């Protein structure tokens, strides 16, 4: 008796557990069609470019957040990590212009350090991740502010390689977009082909089973936060490279859009399921929504409301799907028993 | 003639929990390349033995030899690496990952750059599954598998870990279809022929008849008999399992004849758990419900109490029909349910005795929603006295009390509502002998006052001593009903095991 | 009498810390010890946030969390402002705003209970939605110019110095103490937070109690909106953004167990006073806003991490399974993240 013997409805639901990416993609397509008919300016190449550019950074942050959410945790500090890594990292870059692109490690490693601190609080001190990252959210931003000391960084003071990385083009495509795409692909590949990636899904899927497989949950959660911080640090670099002035107040509220992208993309807040491609698509969808709403002249309120509605609806859908799967599984067991 | 060293030699193992002796001086020799059945009632010590052998528990006394070499496992992973592993009824897996990923979790074969070689993984998984006659698709999500299929994945995992020296199987056929059972037996024979020592814990005596080479019976934490399977008949085995020397309680006075029916259950059905369950309990009667693990007794009780509402059936309390849709409803109708899982379902262990006892009657104790501490204390004090709870006072935190006293707190909580019907689910499980006797006395006293009692228990002497009638549940159905005078341990256990009454 | 003081170590520690911080603040500036100054500063810091902390406390004790309260606050201030502009009398506006808060809480509670959703995810969503509604009602601009009756609650003082809003805070906390420690509802909150399964098995309607907790917190937040308008004489859709950290910190610092089931009202009240004193001191030391937020964040994290670490060090690593386990093997180390579903 194998899974291929399951009736059509079973397969549909199991596909939903793993294949929600397709749902998001479909939603995105519908969205584009909708905006396209509502506004003439939407379906243009330059507009698509704008969406892609705006979305690229969110894609990176969404991948980072997704990795943490898969382990049944949250990271509410991503906005602050972006601010801290952006300011301090770019300040380092500014001070040593001769060092060259290797200094991209500055913001990235700052992000890693932040991730390590989050990981320490959640994995070692066993704090609930909400509390921990709510606290680090303000700690990191405060540190950024202290470091900045009231100043700001003018992008003109940064060495040219920064602008080349963030604003440049490779083979006609924006480097930023390519980078975002590359990160999403790398994250997806890592989660699928690295042991730590499978372990991340494992402890999100069933934390109780971990000890029986010799898995140390704390270590894996810590690594998830570490990866998240590293990616967020990179996002900080990209963010800082794109704004007119780098200030410690950057990226406030980024955690909200990141989480919205993640749940929209099919990552379950109950852990263990979803793919980073979904999160990336979710990020693109959010960027599309923003763009479309601006083009339509919709008010700020509509945007905020939509984020809220997306999160609530996505989480409800996830709960309903998981419930449906449970019911179907129970029915399946009875069929077997009766056989 | 010198005997070859047994594959697994457990010598004089003893283990106690608090005041309860789970194992006492039990020795077991399992030969390589054999199938060994480990039999005994619930509570005989079988699981404790397996847990010690696989590193989940440490014995208080005794030692272990694996292929003649002394060993002592302090964790299941350690035992697994030595080749000793247990497969339980509901193995914990990662449902969102696929079969192959679950099998090889923690030891993925990596290629260059540390990347998992998935092709190799799936091939290896398929090969492993084939050796256990399973055609499961290794890319299938575990979430979609039936319980039997998950067990096969667990076997494959044991094989992947090369844990093929000693394999313990705990009730392996409980959730399998007949086809899967046949396949499993073929696999077991294959493993035996390959040299693995397979130990099966099961109650399905008839089923195992052709499979098993040796039989060991445990009773009450001690060893009773070990013999080749051909040397013992089913009846002899049953007789070896029962007949414990502990006698717990003085015989009860017979209930008053002609008492009215307090609980009437008809046609209770819950798909996948139990089917067409019906019985009556009269005032002052204690009806015992016996069954093996997985028979469905707890499910029946929890459905009666409205925790998992049944699909069909009717319940009437004192003649009035009540739909068991929620615990609140059933409580209002006069039912009380003392759950099997004391810590999670019966108590709030971090809170005090007083708070726990008052939990079911808060509205009654309060005036217009305001708590009356004096009344709560009075209730707690009354309960402590009536049930002889050993405690430092009404404010003692429940987690600091012993098992028996904790159970009394749960009982006190339910007695506070003055129930008409009392559903007890394994009420004396994990309690020392003295407290057991006290609980029995309390229950008997309640019955004498007209309460209708359903006593779910795996403890045969307890059932026989306390019950006026006995219902035997197997596979979600009531398969036998005995009156007190016609019930015997052998008869009950035979019915529960699905055996026909032996000569 | 002895029983009263046993188990009050946390609160006692807070009291000592308050005195220490007051001493530190005095060392920063002799102006600190002026009673008017203290009262004014406490009013600024606590009058609104304290009410929210009181509401959140109930929800956390029951084992859930609600981060949408500041957004509900914003919504309430806007609605209040609109009603003032429309010339509606106070006796109409007041209950309307409180009712609005209750409804916001009800939505949260019903979503969490009805769908069995994790409360963080739900309130993250409703936080945005409520803020959006505030924007919709009030537009982007701020509102000012309120009639005297509207701002009375937030700005009136008794005897010229004691702010009415602080009295209100104390009164609400007294009421909360009565409810949490003296009523059936309060008792149920604690027990549900400690073990919701056992309470369901005891015939308690766990879902209804949780929804009530969310609704009550929403109502208190509505009241806080009224105080806010009076205190700051303004209403904007985006105000009270930083208040969440303060409120959560007050709850955790107050000794409320973030996993539910434990903590005392007095603790939160003392924590509020402590945080208020610290804020006062930080203001006297001229620490900039984000630095103050940093310290608040550190306090939040520290107040939970330090007791946790102490608990983990003291508890020996378990190597064997719990003998009470009914036949199924249990892991030796408590699984991490298993609790996350609720928060």
Confidence of residue B251 (pLDDT cuts 50, 70, 90): low
The SS3 call for residue C178 is: helix
Q: In which element (H, E) is residue B144 found?
A: none
Cβ of A2 and B135 within 8 Å?
A: yes
Report the C-alpha gap between B88 and C314 in whole angstroms.
Answer: 33
pLDDT of residue B145: 81
Pairing of strands A173-174, A169-170: antiparallel
| Residue B261 burial (CB count, 10 A) | 15
B485 Cα to chain C: minimum distance (Å): 32
Say whether pLDDT at B484 is over 70: yes
Cβ of A333 and B146 within 8 Å?
A: yes
Cβ of C337 and A270 within 8 Å?
A: no
Cβ of B144 and A329 within 8 Å?
A: yes
Which among A6, A213, A333 has CB closest to B272?
A333
| Residue A84 burial (CB count, 10 A) | 31
Mean of all residue pLDDT scores within chain B:
87
Selected residue with higher pLDDT from B211 and A339 = B211
C96 Cα to chain B: minimum distance (Å): 26
* Chain B residues closer than 8 Å to C325 by CB: none
Cβ of A3 and B145 within 8 Å?
A: yes
Domain ranges of chain B: 8-241, 260-334+419-503, 346-418
pLDDT of residue C2: 39
Interface contacts A/B by beta carbons within 8 Å: 105
pLDDT of residue A3: 38
Neighbours of chain C (3+ CB pairs under 8 A): A, B
Sequence-distant (≥ 6) Cβ neighbours of residue A97 within 8 angstroms? A158, A159
pLDDT of residue C253: 92
pLDDT tens digit string along A230-241?
A: 999 999 999 998
Least confident of A11-20, A315-324, B62-71, B436-445: A11-20
* Chain A residues closer than 8 Å to C140 by CB: 300
- Residue A85's Cα: distance from chain center in Å? 17
Token pair of B275 as six digits: 């089917």
Say whether pLDDT at C21 is over 60: yes
Sequence-distant (≥ 6) Cβ neighbours of residue C305 within 8 angstroms? A121, A125, A127, A132
* Chain B residues closer than 8 Å to C327 by CB: 47, 293
Three-state SS string over chain A comes to CCHHHCCHHHHHHHHHHHCHHHHHHHHHHHHHHHHHHHCCCCCCHHHHHHHHHHHHHHHHHHHHHHHHHHCCCCCCCHHHHHHHHHHHHHHHHHHCHHHHHHHHHHHHHHHHHHHHHHHHHHHHCCCCHHHHHHHHHHHHHHHHHHHHCCCCECHHHCCHHHHHHHHCEECCEEHHHHHHHHHHHHHHHHHHHCHHHHHHHHHHHCHHHHHHHCCCHHHHHHHHHHHHHHHHHHHHHHHHHHCCCECCCCCCCHHHHHHHHHHHCCCCCCCCCCCHHHHHHHHHHHHHHHHHHHHCCCCHHHHHHHHHHHHHHHHHHHHHHHHHHHHHHHHHHHHHHHC
Pick the residue from chain C with its C-alpha nearest to A117: C301
DSSP code for B171: S
Q: Chain A contact for B182, CB < 8 A?
A: no
Interface contacts B/C by beta carbons within 8 Å: 100
pLDDT of residue B224: 85
Say whether pLDDT at A4 is over 70: no
Cβ of A339 and B178 within 8 Å?
A: yes
Write the CATH number for C185.
1.10.3470
Cβ of B94 and A4 within 8 Å?
A: no
Say whether pLDDT at C329 is over 70: no
Please provide the DSSP assignment of B430-488 as one string.
Answer: T--HHHHHHHHHHHHHHHHTT-EEEEE-S-HHHHHHH-SEEEEEETTEEEEEEETTT--
Say whether pLDDT at B149 is over 80: yes
CATH pick for B260-334+419-503 out of 3.40.50.300, 3.30.1600.10, 3.90.1150.10, 3.30.70.20: 3.40.50.300
Pick the residue from chain A with its C-alpha nearest to B178: A339
Confidence of residue A25 (pLDDT cuts 50, 70, 90): confident
* Chain A residues closer than 8 Å to B146 by CB: 1, 332-333, 336
Residues C220-235 as b/e (b if ≥16 CB within 10 A, e otherwise) read bbbbbbbbbbbbbeeb
pLDDT tens digit string along C145-168?
A: 777 776 777 777 776 678 888 989
pLDDT of residue C32: 80
Mean of all residue pLDDT scores within chain C:
83
Q: Chain C contact for B322, CB < 8 A?
A: no
Say whether pLDDT at B15 is over 50: yes
pLDDT of residue C337: 30
Token pair of B269 as six digits: 């059905």
Fold of A3-338: ABC transporter involved in vitamin B12 uptake, BtuC (1.10.3470)
Confidence of residue C319 (pLDDT cuts 50, 70, 90): very low
Confidence of residue A300 (pLDDT cuts 50, 70, 90): confident
Q: In which element (H, E) is residue B173 found?
A: none
B85 Cα to chain C: minimum distance (Å): 12
pTM value is: 0.88
pLDDT of residue C69: 96
* Chain B residues closer than 8 Å to C320 by CB: 56-58
pLDDT tens digit string along C174-188?
A: 999 999 999 999 999
Sequence-distant (≥ 6) Cβ neighbours of residue A100 within 8 angstroms? A159, A161
Confidence of residue C338 (pLDDT cuts 50, 70, 90): very low
Q: Chain A contact for C297, CB < 8 A?
A: yes
Sequence-distant (≥ 6) Cβ neighbours of residue B160 within 8 angstroms? B103, B104, B107, B124, B128
pLDDT tens digit string along A81-108?
A: 999 999 999 999 999 888 888 889 999 9
Cβ of B92 and A201 within 8 Å?
A: no
Interface contacts A/C by beta carbons within 8 Å: 185
* Chain A residues closer than 8 Å to C117 by CB: 315-316, 319
Neighbours of chain B (3+ CB pairs under 8 A): A, C
Domain ranges of chain A: 3-338
* Chain B residues closer than 8 Å to A17 by CB: 96, 141, 143
As a whole number, mean pLDDT of residues A138-162 equals 90
Percent of chain B with pLDDT over 70: 95
Confidence of residue C8 (pLDDT cuts 50, 70, 90): confident
Pick the residue from chain B with its C-alpha nearest to C324: B430
C78 Cα to chain A: minimum distance (Å): 14
pLDDT of residue B101: 93
As a whole number, mean pLDDT of residues B250-271 equals 80
C324 within domain boundaries? no
As a whole number, mean pLDDT of residues B338-361 equals 93
Say whether pLDDT at B392 is over 60: yes
Cβ of C125 and A121 within 8 Å?
A: no
Cβ of B94 and A209 within 8 Å?
A: yes
* Total domains in the fold of chain C: 1
Report the C-alpha gap between B367 and A219 in whole angstroms.
Answer: 52
C93 within domain boundaries? yes
| Residue C12 burial (CB count, 10 A) | 11
Classify residue C335 by burial, with Cβ atoms within 10 Å: 0-12, 13-18, 19+. Answer: middle
Say whether pLDDT at C4 is over 50: no
Cβ of B371 and C328 within 8 Å?
A: no
Pick the residue from chain A with its C-alpha nearest to B56: A212
Q: Chain C contact for A322, CB < 8 A?
A: no
Report the C-alpha gap between A121 and C305 in whole angstroms.
Answer: 7
DSSP code for B194: T
* Chain C residues closer than 8 Å to A311 by CB: 121, 124-125, 128
C332 Cα to chain A: minimum distance (Å): 7
Q: Would you say domain B8-241 falls under CATH 3.40.50.1220?
A: no
Which among C182, C184, C195 has CB closest to B348?
C195
Are C174 and C166 in contact by the 8 Å Cβ rule? The answer is: no
Confidence of residue B456 (pLDDT cuts 50, 70, 90): very high
Classify residue B194 by burial, with Cβ atoms within 10 Å: 0-12, 13-18, 19+. Answer: exposed
Which among B58, B90, B363 has CB closest to C320?
B58
pLDDT of residue B408: 94
Confidence of residue C236 (pLDDT cuts 50, 70, 90): confident
Are B474 and B182 in contact by the 8 Å Cβ rule? The answer is: no
C279 within domain boundaries? yes
pLDDT of residue B360: 94
Best to test chain B binding among A212, A223, A325, A330 (most B CBs inside 10 Å): A212
pLDDT tens digit string along C57-82?
A: 999 999 999 999 999 999 999 998 88
pLDDT of residue A36: 86
Selected residue with higher pLDDT from C39 and C240 = C39
* Chain B residues closer than 8 Å to C205 by CB: 326, 328
Say whether pLDDT at A138 is over 90: yes
Are A329 and B144 in contact by the 8 Å Cβ rule? The answer is: yes
């Amino acid at each position: 008796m194998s899974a291929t013997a399951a009736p059509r409805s079973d397969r549909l639901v199991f596909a939903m557990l793993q294949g929600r990416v397709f749902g998001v993609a479909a939603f995105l397509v519908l969205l584009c069609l909708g905006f396209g008919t509502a506004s003439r300016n939407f379906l243009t190449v330059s507009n698509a470019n704008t969406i892609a550019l705006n979305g690229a950074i969110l894609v990176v942050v969404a991948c980072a957040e997704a990795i943490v959410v898969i382990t049944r945790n949250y990271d509410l500090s991503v906005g602050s990590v972006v601010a801290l890594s952006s300011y301090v990292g770019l300040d380092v870059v500014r001070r040593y212009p001769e060092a060259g692109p290797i200094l991209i490690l500055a913001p990235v490693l700052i992000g890693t350090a932040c991730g390590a601190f989050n990981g320490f609080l959640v994995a070692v001190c066993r704090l609930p991740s909400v509390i921990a990252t709510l606290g680090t959210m303000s700690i990191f931003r405060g540190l950024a502010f202290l470091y900045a000391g009231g100043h700001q960084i003018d992008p003109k003071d940064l060495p040219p390689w920064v602008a080349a990385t963030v604003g440049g083009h490779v083979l006609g495509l924006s480097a930023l977009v390519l980078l975002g795409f590359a990160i999403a692909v790398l994250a997806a590949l890592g989660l699928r082909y690295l042991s730590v990636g499978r372990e991340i899904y494992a402890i999100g899927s069933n934390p109780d089973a971990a000890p029986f497989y010799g898995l140390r949950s704390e270590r894996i959660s810590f690594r998830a936060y570490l990866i998240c911080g590293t990616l967020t640090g990179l996002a900080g670099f990209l963010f800082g490279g794109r704004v007119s002035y780098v200030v410690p107040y950057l990226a406030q509220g980024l955690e909200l859009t990141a989480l919205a992208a993640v749940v929209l993309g099919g990552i379950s807040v109950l852990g263990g399921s979803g793919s980073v491609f979904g999160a990336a698509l979710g990020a693109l969808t959010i960027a599309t929504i923003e763009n479309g709403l601006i083009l339509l002249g919709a008010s700020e309120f509509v945007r905020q409301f939509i984020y809220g509605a997306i999160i609530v609806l996505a989480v409800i859908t996830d709960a309903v799907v998981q419930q449906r799967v449970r019911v179907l599984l129970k029915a399946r067991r009875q069929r077997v028993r009766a056989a | 003639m010198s005997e070859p060293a047994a594959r697994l030699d457990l010598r004089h193992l003893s283990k106690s929990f608090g005041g309860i002796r789970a194992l006492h001086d039990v020795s077991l020799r399992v030969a390589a390349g054999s199938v060994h059945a480990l039999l005994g009632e619930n509570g005989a010590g079988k699981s404790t033995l397996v847990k010690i052998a696989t590193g989940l528990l440490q014995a208080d006394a005794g030692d272990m030899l694996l292929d003649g070499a002394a060993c002592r496992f302090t964790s299941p992973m350690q035992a697994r690496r030595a080749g000793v592993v247990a497969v339980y009824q509901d193995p914990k897996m990662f449902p969102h990952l696929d079969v192959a990923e679950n099998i090889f979790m923690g030891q993925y074969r990596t290629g260059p750059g540390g990347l998992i070689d998935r092709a190799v993984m799936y091939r290896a998984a398929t090969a492993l599954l084939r050796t256990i006659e399973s055609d499961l698709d290794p890319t299938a999500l575990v979430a979609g598998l039936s319980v039997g299929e998950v067990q096969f994945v667990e076997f494959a995992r044991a094989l992947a870990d090369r844990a093929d020296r000693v394999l313990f199987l705990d009730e392996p056929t409980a959730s399998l279809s007949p086809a899967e059972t046949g396949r499993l037996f073929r696999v077991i024979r294959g493993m035996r022929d390959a040299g693995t020592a397979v130990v099966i814990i099961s109650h399905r005596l008839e089923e195992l008849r052709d499979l098993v080479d040796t039989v060991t019976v445990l009773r009450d934490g001690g060893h009773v008999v070990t013999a080749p399977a051909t040397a013992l008949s089913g009846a002899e085995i049953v007789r070896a399992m029962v007949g414990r020397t502990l006698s717990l309680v003085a015989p009860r006075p017979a209930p008053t004849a002609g008492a009215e029916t307090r609980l009437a259950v008809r046609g209770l059905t819950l798909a996948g758990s139990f089917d067409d369950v019906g019985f009556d309990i009269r005032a002052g009667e204690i009806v015992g419900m016996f069954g093996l693990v997985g028979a469905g007794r707890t499910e029946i009780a929890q459905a009666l109490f409205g925790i998992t509402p049944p699909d069909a059936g009717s319940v009437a309390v004192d003649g009035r029909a009540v739909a068991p849709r929620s615990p609140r409803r059933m409580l209002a109708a006069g039912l009380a349910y003392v759950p099997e899982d004391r810590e999670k379902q019966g108590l709030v262990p971090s809170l005090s005795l007083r708070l726990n006892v008052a939990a079911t009657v808060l509205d009654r104790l309060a005036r217009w929603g305001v708590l009356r501490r004096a009344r709560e204390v009075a209730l707690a004090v009354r309960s402590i006295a009536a049930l002889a709870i050993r405690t430092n006072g009404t404010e003692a935190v429940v987690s600091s009390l012993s098992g028996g006293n904790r159970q009394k707190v749960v009982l006190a909580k339910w007695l506070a509502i003055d129930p008409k019907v009392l559903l007890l689910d394994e009420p004396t499980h994990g309690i020392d002998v003295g407290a057991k006797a006290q609980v029995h006395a309390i229950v008997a006293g309640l019955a004498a006052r007209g309460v209708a009692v359903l006593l779910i228990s795996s403890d045969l002497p307890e059932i026989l001593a306390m019950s006026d009638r006995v219902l035997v549940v197997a596979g979600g159905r009531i398969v036998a009903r005995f009156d007190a005078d016609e019930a015997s341990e052998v008869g009950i256990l035979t019915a529960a095991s699905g055996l026909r009454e032996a000569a | 009498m002895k029983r009263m003081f046993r188990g009050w170590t946390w609160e006692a520690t807070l009291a000592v810390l308050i005195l220490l911080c007051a001493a530190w603040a005095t060392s920063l500036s002799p102006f600190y010890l002026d009673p008017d100054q203290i009262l004014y500063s406490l009013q600024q810091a606590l009058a609104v946030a304290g009410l929210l902390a009181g509401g959140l406390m109930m929800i956390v004790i029951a084992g859930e969390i609600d981060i949408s309260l500041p957004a509900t606050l914003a919504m309430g201030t806007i609605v209040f402002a609109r009603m003032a502009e429309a010339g509606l009398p106070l006796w109409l506006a007041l209950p309307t705003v409180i009712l609005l808060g209750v409804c916001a809480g009800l939505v949260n509670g019903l979503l969490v209970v009805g769908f069995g959703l994790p409360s963080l995810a739900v309130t993250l969503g409703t936080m945005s939605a409520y803020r959006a509604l505030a924007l919709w009602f009030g537009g982007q601009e701020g509102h000012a110019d309120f009639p005297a009756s509207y701002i009375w609650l937030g700005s009136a003082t008794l005897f010229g110095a004691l702010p009415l809003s602080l009295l209100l805070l104390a009164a609400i906390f007294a009421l909360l103490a009565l409810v949490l420690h003296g009523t059936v509802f309060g008792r149920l909150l604690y027990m549900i937070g400690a073990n919701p399964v056992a309470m369901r098995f005891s015939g308690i309607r766990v879902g209804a109690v949780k929804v009530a907790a969310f609704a009550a917190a929403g109502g208190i937040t509505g009241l806080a909106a009224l105080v806010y308008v009076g205190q700051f004489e303004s209403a904007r859709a985006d105000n009270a953004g930083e208040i969440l950290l303060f409120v959560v910190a007050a709850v955790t610092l107050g000794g409320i167990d973030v996993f539910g089931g434990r903590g005392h009202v007095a603790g939160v009240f003392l924590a509020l006073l402590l945080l208020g004193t610290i804020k006062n001191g930080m203001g006297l030391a001229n620490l900039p806003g984000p630095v103050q937020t940093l310290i608040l964040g550190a306090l939040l994290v520290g107040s939970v991490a330090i007791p946790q670490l102490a608990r983990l060090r003291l508890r020996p690593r378990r190597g064997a399974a719990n003998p009470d386990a009914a036949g199924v093997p249990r892991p030796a180390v408590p699984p991490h993240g298993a609790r996350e579903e609720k928060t």
